[in-house]
Amino acid sequence: MKAKPKIRIIDVTNRDGVQTSRICLSKLEKTMINMYLNDMGIFQSEFGFPVTRHETSYLNANLELAKKGVIADLRLGGWVRATKGDVKAAFKLAPGLKHLNLSISTSDQMIVNKFKGKLDHKSVIKEMTQAVGDAFKSGAKSIGVNAEDASRTRMDYLIEFTQAAKKAGAHRLRYCDTLGYDTPFTIYERVRQLLKAVKIPIEIHCHNDLGLVVANSLAGAKAACDAGCDTYINTCINGMGERAGNADLVSVILAIKYGSGMRNYSLDERINLRKSWRICKYASYAFGVPIPINQPGIGANAFAHESGIHADGALKDRRNYELYDYEELGRGELEVIDTGRKITAGEYSGIKGFRNVYEKLEIRFHDDLEAARILELVRYGNVHNQKPLVDDELKFIAKYPDFAEKIFSMTP
Ligand SMILES: [Zn+2]
């Protein structure tokens, strides 16, 4: 019997999340996100833009962390345009790249009004298949082809495009609801129709312009599973992403696990929701965007009850008013805040204060030379992040100084 189709997560915080207007992450913060996603058992992180020069040191350092087994199970995938030039530059700047998504627009709207006569429907397919071929020749092990604006693409053309991608050897087709135009009804129907015509694993990439992003992601994934194909939902931590955002990582996982009618759908068993609290809190701090009080699972009110009937009911049996347990999301522990004297490590720290900070983290240095080196890196880390480093970042720098040094370097 054929194995049941699986739903996996490809998180795009380090790509769609950081390309969003007004918010950004430092390269150290992007690295920490990859470490946390790895801890959480997520399948893949779209970790950046291989042709963007200021990403080069970060991308190569993270590829080395993967090679070394520090980022052990998480795949690191780059995003480039599906063009000869981008593919060539990507492998020149990040030769260790193994996983790649190649993107090109497929809707009439974009082919006519973006390419402005430079490409037509036929040449879009030609560009894409050539880029896939080039990427394989350059050493890519897995390739996803992104149909940008798939939700506004004529179905006959989307099928033709997908067939060509499959024939060229692509492993996945990314169905991009680039403008958040789909509804759960249309995305289910369109993905079903597409996969009926071409059997290929599919990525569901949705945006929240109509407030439907998690529902659409789920409906698209359900259609793929119903068609017998594996599916990969694109998420961003805390629902960051272009304009109104992408599908929130934790909400998507909760919806698959606890949504009505989803019991028989198979979620990647490596996913560990207990890491949710930590990764969401970190991303909120790193982006400088507070977590809304009503964010599913993670918001301050997600497990709070006040009205008489609700409080009474929740105390009698949590299942009266809670669909899932807060413990499962890694919540429930007290967070201790030091209200007395606090020594912090920053751009202008000296060795004494710095040692005090690390002693509290129970990290000891072999000798003064090592301590001095880590101090210097912590100073750079602070310049780099422009905000106080968190404990996990301080630990990362002490444990992997060579990688930290690489991540902080940038030569325009
Ligand atoms: Zn997007």
pLDDT digits (tens, 9 = 90+) for 150-181: 999 999 999 999 999 999 999 999 999 999 99
Query: Distance between CA atoms of 102 and 129, rounded to whole angstroms?
Result: 10
pLDDT at 153: 98
Expressed in angstroms and rounded, the spacing between residue 199 Cα and the centre of ligand 1 is 23
3-state SS assignment for residue 202: strand
* Alpha carbons within 13 A on the beta-carbon side of 258: 14
Expressed in angstroms and rounded, the spacing between residue 176 Cα and the centre of ligand 1 is 7
Residues 29, 32, 38, 44, Cα dihedral to 10°: 20
Helix axes 121-137, 84-93, angle to 10 degrees: 20
- Contact predicate 249/236, CB 8 Å: yes
pLDDT at 364: 92
pLDDT at 412: 87
Could you give the percent of the chain with pLDDT greater than 70? 100
For the domain spanning 6-282, the CATH number is 3.20.20.70
pLDDT digits (tens, 9 = 90+) for 367-385: 999 999 999 999 999 999 9
Task: Show the tokens assigned to 408.
Answer: 């902080």
Mean pLDDT confidence for 31-37:
98
pLDDT digits (tens, 9 = 90+) for 322-364: 999 999 999 999 988 889 888 888 888 888 888 889 999 999 9
Expressed in angstroms and rounded, the spacing between residue 78 Cα and the centre of ligand 1 is 14
pLDDT at 348: 85
Expressed in angstroms and rounded, the spacing between residue 328 Cα and the centre of ligand 1 is 29
Helix axes 27-39, 401-408, angle to 10 degrees: 130
Expressed in angstroms and rounded, the spacing between residue 27 Cα and the centre of ligand 1 is 20
pLDDT digits (tens, 9 = 90+) for 244-264: 999 999 999 999 999 999 999
Q: Which distant-in-sequence residues (6+ apart) come within 8 Å of 188 by Cβ? A: 219, 220, 222, 223
Mean pLDDT confidence for 112-124:
94
pLDDT at 308 over 70: yes
Q: What residue type is 243 in one-letter code?
A: R
pLDDT at 52: 96
Query: Distance between CA atoms of 36 and 41, rounded to whole angstroms?
Result: 9
- Contact predicate 410/30, CB 8 Å: no
Expressed in angstroms and rounded, the spacing between residue 323 Cα and the centre of ligand 1 is 30
Expressed in angstroms and rounded, the spacing between residue 386 Cα and the centre of ligand 1 is 27
Residue with tokens 């053309």: 157
pLDDT at 2: 73
Mean pLDDT confidence for 211-216:
98
Mean pLDDT confidence for 204-218:
98
Expressed in angstroms and rounded, the spacing between residue 52 Cα and the centre of ligand 1 is 18
Other C-beta atoms closer than 10 Å to the C-beta of 119 total: 19
Query: Chain-centre distance of CA 397, in angstroms?
Result: 22
pLDDT at 17 over 90: yes
Expressed in angstroms and rounded, the spacing between residue 149 Cα and the centre of ligand 1 is 9
- Contact predicate 384/27, CB 8 Å: yes
Expressed in angstroms and rounded, the spacing between residue 365 Cα and the centre of ligand 1 is 44
| Segments making up each domain of the chain, as ranges | 6-282, 351-407
Q: Tell me the pLDDT band of 1, cut-offs 50, 70 and 90.
A: low
